[in-house]
Amino acid sequence: MARTAEAFGTLDIFVSNAGILTRGTIDTYTLEDFDRMVAINVRAAFVGIQAAAQEMNDGGRIVIIGSCTAIRTAVPGASVYSMTKAALVGLVRGAAIDLAPRAITVNNVQPGPTATDMSSAHAELAKTLIPLKRMGDVSEVASFVSYLASEEAGFITGASLTIDGGYVA
């Protein structure tokens, strides 16, 4: 963050999009995998928010990319992933309150199944689980993030907003 601010001036927008999924049922999940998932999915978001806020202009925008699994764990082996994404909901609420005096908004976008290199193999399964009968497109998620980073979204903060084609409906 410091290098970015040094190169471009103060920061206006920060988007945290780091995350991993290591599957395993709760009775067999290793502590090493648990610690790695928490470090990347939760700690990295915290550190990113903290660093961004230190370099950010008043009125800035922070957007975290979570997952609709914070609401619904639909498959076995995703409990730890879901837990990490649910932790982001609480983190965003608290950070929004902490940064409100500076008019910095903090929000969480919770995509459902989205067509990416990591998830494309599950496209047919998604058609049976999602009411809109398709996976989301990355451009749909990106445009939602773009809106939250805009001036028009200045009264939205502390929100976890789901974009999932009706998956958790």
Residues 105 and 148 sit within 8 Å (Cβ to Cβ): yes
Q: Mean pLDDT throughout 103-109?
A: 98
Q: Half-sphere exposure of residue 89, counting CA atoms within 13 Å on the CB side?
A: 14
pLDDT band at 116 (very low <50, low <70, confident <90, very high): confident
Res 29 pLDDT > 90: yes
Q: Calculate mean pLDDT across residues 153-159.
A: 98
Residue 53, φ and ψ in degrees, nearest 5 = -60, -35
Residues annotated as catalytic (active site), given as ranges:
81
pLDDT classification of 125: cutoffs 50, 70, 90 = confident
**What is the pLDDT, as a whole number, of residue 119?**
77
- Does the model's pTM come out above 0.85? yes
Q: How confident is the model at residue 75 (pLDDT cuts 50, 70, 90)?
A: confident
Query: 168 vs 16, 17, 25, 112, 141, CA distance in Å?
Result: 23, 21, 21, 8, 16
Mean pLDDT calculated for residue range 59-75: 94
Q: How far is 38 from 85, CA to CA, in rounded Å? A: 9
Task: Match 């837990």 to its residue by tokens.
Answer: 83
Q: Which of 161, 1, 25, 24 is nearest to 96 (CA)?
A: 161
pLDDT the model gives residue 70: 95
Is it the case that residue 120 has pLDDT exceeding 80?
no
Residue from 162, 41, 147 nearest 113 by CA: 162
* Architecture category of domain 2-163 in CATH: 3-Layer(aba) Sandwich (3.40)
- Percentage with pLDDT > 90 across the chain: 82
What pLDDT score was predicted for residue 117? 80
Token pair of 98, please?
């902490």
Under the banding of pLDDT at 50, 70 and 90, the label for residue 1 is: confident
The separation between CA 54 and the C-alpha centre of its own chain, rounded to angstroms, equals 20
Residue 110: closest CA among 127, 89, 125, 129:
89
Give the H/E segment covering residue 111: strand 105-111
The whole-number average pLDDT for the span 61-70 is 97
- Can you give the residue ranges of every domain in the chain? 2-163
